[in-house]
Structure 1
Amino acid sequence: CGSCGYPLNLTSSNRIATSIGSEYRKSVEKGLISFLSVDLSRFTQVDEVHCFPVSWGRHRSKTKLLCRKCGVHIGYGYGDAPALCGFDSPDSSSAAFRKFTIKIRALQPSDETDRESFGLTCHRWLNIQNLNRRSLQFPCSFGIVGHSSLSQSCPDINSFHLYRILARFQHLEYLSLSGCVEILDSALSYLKPYGSKLQTLCLDCCFKISDYGISLVGDGCPFLSTISLYRCSITDTGLEALANACLALRHVNLAYCPCISDSGLRALSQGCRELQAVKISNCRGVSGVGLRGCSSTLVYIDAECCNLEPEGIMSIVSGGGLKFLNIAGLSCSNFRNGLEAIGNGFAARLKILNLRMCRSVTDASIVAIAKGCPQLQEWNLALCHEVRVLGWASIGSNCHNLKKLHVNRCRNLCHQGLQAVRDGCKELSVLYMSRNSRISDTALELFKLYRCNVEIKAEEVMSIGPNWDSIDYDEST
């Protein structure tokens, strides 16, 4: 198996040789090899039945062949099987496969004898495939990390596996090793000879990768633009090495990296002047001041549940280009008016703001943001208990482009506040509200009557905004 190395016991002697010639060449060009027989004990079989009668009472059957170890699709077995469509076959017997079609790209030679034959058959085709492949993700990789994905059993991808992969696919631009918890720093040394074209590298939950491994990434991938280090045990030293080597970095995910601080962020923001998106959520050692003087290309910051300070908020918006800001769950107690810095002119281009669970934010901050961020299109104020009539009235008076507003469980949202939003936010299309104890059914029905074009949703949304790695800086917007 080309994915996991499991022996499939395919031999050249069982290949169908009757079609050697133009038909055989066409088959190889399509990336397929036909066999008379295979060792079915090496495969998991999944039947696919198509009810197109070949003769009365029979149909064509196709069985998908999967690697018994890793489940990768290897090919198909073809044969005639008894009918399952209401027709009885008088001479039906056990379904015998007439032909097996195997995908070349799903294989790798198992020994020197087969290697020679395998190479003669499809060496040119494999070279083309190797040169054309631009992305690779291991079976244990995952996109969105959760408890379920962390509990899944993953194959032990080690240094040898990574070496073979990189040596074979030397033009990779995207590589995900997320979830490969056995990968060591030394494995990343192979990026220098083989990974120079990498632009995106995902190392989420690679718990054994340290600062030394990150320095190897910097040495081997000078054109890297996106890196995800979710839950990695790196420190400011690793960030500094990365920032010094990968000047073209645009998207960086440092969520749940407990050992980084403002010092590492400062090296990143000052060294990578094309930075566009940074995730530092749940990094408790970050106050935000490390982003002071960041580039205007920085349009996305996710700093949920960080120990931000008022000075850190000023630093975060200092670049002037911010469009998405998530500072939900502020854990610092001195933020009653500390968010006014967002509305002081540097965040005038802000379009999406998440203040969910910022329980101590007062009307003064809300008024400043509403006046200073005229382009706001979505604002999450769920569980912001200290926002009162003055704050809601300011939103209605100033947020003329607001399309989505989240007010779930806001204790001090009353009839007057809801009316101010109703009468002022003319572009509002979705209002998320639930468990607002001071809003009566009558007030809600009046809102629906006057603003029938606004959809009211009872759901409480935890995460808003675009994907961090799909953000692109656009100076015109």
Structure 2
Amino acid sequence: MAYEPEAGPWTPPSARVHPSTQGVELSLSVSPSSSTGSDMPDFVDLQASAVASPTPLGVRVPPVDVGSSASPADLPHEILLQIMGYCISDQQDLVSCLLVCRRWCACAVQLLWLRPCFHRLSALFKMIHVMIQPTPSFPYALYIRRLNFSLLAGDLDDQLFGRMTACHRLERLTLSGCCQISDNTLTRVLQNTPHLVAIDLSGVVQLTDRTLHQLAATCPKLQGVNLSGCELVTSEGVIALAHACHSLRRIKLAQCTRVDDHALQALLRACPILLEVDLAGCTRINDASVREVWQRPSLLRELRLAGCTALTDRAFPTPTVLAEAAQPALLCEHLRMVDVSSCPYLTDEAVRAVVAHAPRLRYLTLAKCERLTDDSVYAIAELGRHIQHLHLAHCAQLTDHAMLHLAQQCTRIRYLDLACCVQLTDESIVALATHLPKLRRIGLVRLVRLTDRAVYALVERHTSLERIHLSYCEQITVPAIFWLMLRLPRLSHLSLTGVPAFRRSDLQAMCRAPPKEFNQHQRQSFCVYSGRGVHDLRRFLQRAYADPASAAPYGALPSDRQRIFYESLHRFLRPRE
């Protein structure tokens, strides 16, 4: 039966809030609490030696006849959990509930321990101290369903993480960047987590196939796993995981350089509800396994193959491949995202095949596929209103003719990257600005033919842009950027690195600091405005252009735009602080 302490008035022996852990302790027994996020838990379980699981959150409970003298304290444990779940985003409310009576205390403690949050190492020490008490008031470790150690990645070691073996009800575990954790400790903890649904092990560099075999043996409910950067993982471990965890939906294997075709084939064959596969940087992936994506029915929505440099057109259902295949290629109607950037052997044939067999693509990344020509863009235009994010950076053979066609056919594009498409001119940008009313972000880095005309066109009809990259567009001037900023109230990021007009100390004073790894030359040319910097640059230029004399060093606005600026000056200028 569910744990239901005696109801009625109750005064706890002691209760205090720990500022460092943002939690509550009752006689050294109640612990640091969950983070202040707003998501509701999937279900809540109260389990001890004589405690059974209550009804999961979200499940309707039949009404209970509690008589005419019913009070909130008489509500069943399951219903109290459901109600208090709405307070999970405000920890102080849960603390207040905890102090009402024994029944409310049992529910509030369970929710406070749902997902402990560690902003510093001392918080973890305090939680462990409470968990290891010889006679705790509650089975605290069994209340923990989610653990995220990403903020302690540099400090978490085997000794500390090994204490989590008591968390038998764990559902989500994040160890991103915890490079000191070893296989031995991981397997010891994971052998006690049969309810695990998602695990993030990205950057755990000591991890090997041994951990994956342990996951396969004890976590049959696993739905998501992130192994990015775990270079010791091989196809053997991934195959074991695929054969044991048939509910797997998402797997990330980016930069797992020992993973090959056998791993992808096992995932496609053994996991029928697989939605996302990330194999970026897996250079051993070849055409044979990727070809199965188009030959086997699946629910796959996202396929990342960036940096799989061995791929050729034969990985996709091109006419040549279809003629040789024993079975026809299937239509991947669920596929929404394909990333094949940095695959140097792909040609227009591959792009045409992808578009033909994935007609509802929203995200397509073809950056650094240098063999692509205008024919690829004409094929992409057939996606019409479906395509929203398109990356064509470093496709240097593209011309204005293809961009004009794309702008007319794909009017719902929100993010477009054309960096280093060096043949493009102002004509392309004018067409894109005219036909793409939903455009939010655009990358125009190193389009050396662009002039101020392109910048003015970006804001001629629509003002929805939020991020603009104009680095190394050397013909851009300050007046054009000033007009751009006036017309874009939502602008939050503007990159102007390498633009000669912005190599001025007064303008660079408002840009953010360059990355530490940059050399001296890169630091001198770095010019990126984001967040507060955009706001400061806008105000600085407004004040400068309010007086023709002070605007002279930066260049004059065109006469028609200068007249509009002066007429609306009262809306832009603010009093000096």
Aligned partner (choices 374, 381, 392) of residue 370 of structure 1:
381
Equivalent position amino acid for 1:384 in 2: C
SS in 1 for 2:196: coil
Does the CA-based 8 Å contact 1:376-1:401 persist in structure 2?
A: yes
State how far apart, in whole Å, the 2-side matches of 1:386 and 1:366 are. 11
Residue 385 and residue 211 in structure 1: after superposition, are their counterparts in 2 closer, same or farther (change >3 A)? Answer: same
Listed as ranges, the gaps of 5+ residues in structure 1 are 1-20, 35-69, 76-102, 110-114, 143-152, 462-477
Cα distance in structure 1, aligned partners of 2:183 and 2:128 = 28
Q: Does 1:322 align with 2:363?
A: no
Letter in 2 for 1:387: L
2:13 to 12, 24, 29: 24
Going from structure 1 to structure 2, the CA distance change for 1:373 and 1:269 (only over 3 Å counts) comes to farther
| Residue 353 (structure 1) aligned to one of 364, 377, 400 | 364
Q: What is aligned with 1:266?
A: 265
Query: SS in structure 1 opposite 2:460?
Result: helix
Label 1:203 to 1:194 Cα distance change in 2 as closer, same or farther (>3 A): same
Q: CA deviation at 1:301?
A: 1.9
Provide the C-alpha distance between the structure 2 equivalents of 1:140 and 1:421, rounded to a whole number of angstroms. 42
- Counterpart Cα distance in 2 of 1:451 and 1:247: 47
Native 8 Å contact 1:282 1:304 kept in 2:
yes
Q: Which structure has the higher relative contact order (CA within 8 Å, separation 6+)? A: 1
Matched to 1:458, the amino acid is H
Question: Aligned AA for 1:333?
Answer: Y
Structure 2: distance between partners of 1:192 and 1:435: 49
Partner in structure 1 of residue 410 of structure 2: 399
Closer, same or farther: CA 27–351 of 1 in aligned 2, 3 Å: same
**How far did 1:253 drift?**
0.9
Shift of 1:386: 1.1
Q: Is 1:189–1:220's contact at 8 Å kept on the other side of the alignment?
A: no
- Kindly state the Cα deviation for residue 289 of structure 1 after the two structures are TM-superposed: 3.8
Indicate how the Cα distance of structure 1 residues 178 and 359 shifts in structure 2: closer, same or farther if over 3 A, else same.
same
Instruction: Name the structure with the higher strand share.
Output: 1
Alignment partner, residue 171 of structure 2: 173
Q: Determine the C-alpha separation between the residues in 2 that align with 1:215 and 1:363.
A: 47
Give 1:241 deviation, angstroms: 0.7
Q: Does 1:119 align with 2:128?
A: no
Query: Are 1:384 and 2:395 counterparts?
Result: yes
**1:299 partnered with 2:306:** no
Give the secondary-structure state (helix, strand or coil) at the position aligned to 1:239: helix
1:429 & 1:372 partners in 2: Cα distance?
19
Return the TM-score normalized by structure 1.
Answer: 0.65
Closer, same or farther in 2 for the Cα pair 1:246/1:27, shift >3 Å? Answer: same
Partner residue in 1 for 2:504: none
Q: Partners of 2:464 and 2:150 in 1: how far apart? A: 45
Corresponding residue number in structure 2 for 1:257:
256
- Cα-to-partner distance string for 1:151-178 (whole Å, 9 max, x where unaligned): xx444316xx555412x21100012334
What TM-score do the two structures reach when normalised by structure 2? Answer: 0.55
Q: Tell me how far 1:342 sits from its aligned partner.
A: 2.0
Shift of residue 281, structure 1, vs aligned partner: 0.9
How many Å apart are 1:244 and its aligned residue? 0.3
Given the superposition, is the C-alpha separation of residues 394 and 384 from structure 1 closer, same or farther in structure 2, using an over 3 Å criterion? same
Residues 47-80 of structure 1: per-residue CA shift (max 9 Å, x gap): xxxxxxxxxxxxxxxxxxxxxxx732389xxxxx
Instruction: Give 5+ residue unaligned stretches, structure 2.
Output: 1-9, 18-22, 29-119, 319-328, 472-492, 494-577
1:211 deviates by 2.3
Deviation at 1:413, TM superposition (A): 1.0
In 2, the alpha carbon distance for the partners of 1:246 and 1:141 equals 29
- 1:61-112 deviations in whole A, cap 9, x for unaligned? xxxxxxxxx732389xxxxxxxxxxxxxxxxxxxxxxxxxxx6x45158xxx
Q: Distance in 2 between matches of 1:453 and 1:219?
A: 51
Separation (CA, whole Å) in 1 of partners of 2:442 and 2:403: 13
In 2: Cα distance, 1:391 partner to 1:281 partner: 28
- How does 1:445-464 map onto structure 2 within 5 Å? 445-451=456-462, 457-458=468-469
Q: Determine if contact 1:342/1:368 at 8 Å carries over to the other structure.
A: no
* More helix by percentage: 2
Change in Cα spacing, 1:372 to 1:178, as seen in structure 2 (3 Å) is closer
Partner deviation per Cα, 1:393-412 (whole Å, 9 max, x = no partner): 22122102222222233201
Q: 1:216 aligns with which of 214, 217, 224?
A: 214
Q: How does 1:193-204 map to 2 (within 5 A)?
A: 193-204=191-202
Give the AA of the match of 1:253.
Answer: K
Using a 3 Å threshold, how does the CA distance of structure 1 residues 266 and 449 change in structure 2: closer, same or farther?
same
Residue 294 of structure 1, CA deviation: 5.0
Whether contact under 8 Å (1:347, 1:373) holds in the other structure is no
Post-superposition offset of 1:310: 1.5
